[in-house]
Amino acid sequence: SSRHILSLVFEKAIPSFGALAEIGDDRSLFNLGVMTYLGHGTEKNKAKAYVLVKISNENKFSGRYLEMLMPEF
């Protein structure tokens, strides 16, 4: 199914985003946060997602997205 294919794509993207995030790529931090928040390719974890997106926000990438994505924080 298309849902299964998307799941595989997300799972394969996690290591790449992780490697880029480790060297300070804000977009990768943000993408990891969104994927973690939604549980795409990784276990759903709102607290971890918040931290990832918050760090990317501190680096001036995701400010306007933080409240839209995670209004409960």
43 — pLDDT class (breaks 50, 70, 90): very high
Judge if pTM exceeds 0.85: no
State the first-to-last Cα distance of the chain, in angstroms, to the nearest integer.
34
Q: How does pLDDT run across 49-66, given as a tens digit for each residue?
A: 989 988 887 766 655 566
- CA torsion sign, 47 to 49 to 51 to 57? negative
The pLDDT score that the predictor gives to residue 24 is 85
Find the angle CA(13)-CA(71)-CA(48) to the nearest 5 degrees. Answer: 40
The pLDDT score that the predictor gives to residue 69 is 66
